[in-house]
Amino acid sequence: MAHRSDVIQPYQCDPESDPEGEAPEEIQTLRLQQDVSEWCSCGNCATMPTEAENICCLEIPQVTRRLREVEDEPSCMVDHPGLEPVCLNVYSLQNACQIYRADYGPLRLRGIHHHYRYFAYRSFVSWCGGFLGRRIRVVIPACVVLRIHTEFPDAEGHCVGFGPRLNRDT
């Protein structure tokens, strides 16, 4: 029989919650209600449609790691010399589309710019974060999204913001 000191006691090392240290929801300021200059450190962001999308490139560790790889570290990801060839070059995006098509089959998107935006996002995430796995989604910094939208605009203005993926296999 085990002695009392030998029995595993779960949760003994877990920190206790501190409800007094948390700000009530109504006091927490949402970025949608703030001026961009209050949360953007790179100077190239703009307010995005959803709260989750209002994030600066300098807040994401995987992105700042990419920035530090450059000798004269850029102050924003849109100024990184690798962004254009990896995420904005149409030939690179066409190649990414062909690889995707070979692995998963055709992708049903409206218009060539929608294809380019989709693969620019995928390329950016892969370039900064590596392979994430199926159905794992991450937020792309506002400045990068704006740069991609500038390069590949949606004529109808139907760009969909970041949101949780529904139960789909694509």
Note whether residue 164 is domain-resident.
Answer: no
Note whether residue 87 is domain-resident.
Answer: yes
Note whether residue 93 is domain-resident.
Answer: yes
Q: How many domains does the chain have?
A: 1
3-state SS, 26-50, equals CCCCCHHHCCHHHCCCCCCCCCCCC
Note whether residue 11 is domain-resident.
Answer: no
Q: Give the domain extent around 91.
A: 45-151
Note whether residue 5 is domain-resident.
Answer: no
Give the phi and the psi of residue 96 in degrees, each rounded to 5: -60, -40
Note whether residue 4 is domain-resident.
Answer: no
Single-letter amino acid, residue 123: S
Per-residue pLDDT of the chain (170 residues; tens, 9 = 90+): 555 555 544 434 444 434 444 444 443 458 777 888 899 999 999 998 888 889 999 999 999 999 999 999 999 999 999 999 999 999 999 999 999 889 888 887 778 888 899 999 999 999 998 776 667 778 899 999 999 999 998 876 555 555 444 333 33
Note whether residue 78 is domain-resident.
Answer: yes
Is 151 in contact with 55 (CB distance < 8 Å)? Answer: no
pTM: predicted TM-score of the whole model, two decimal places:
0.73
Note whether residue 40 is domain-resident.
Answer: no
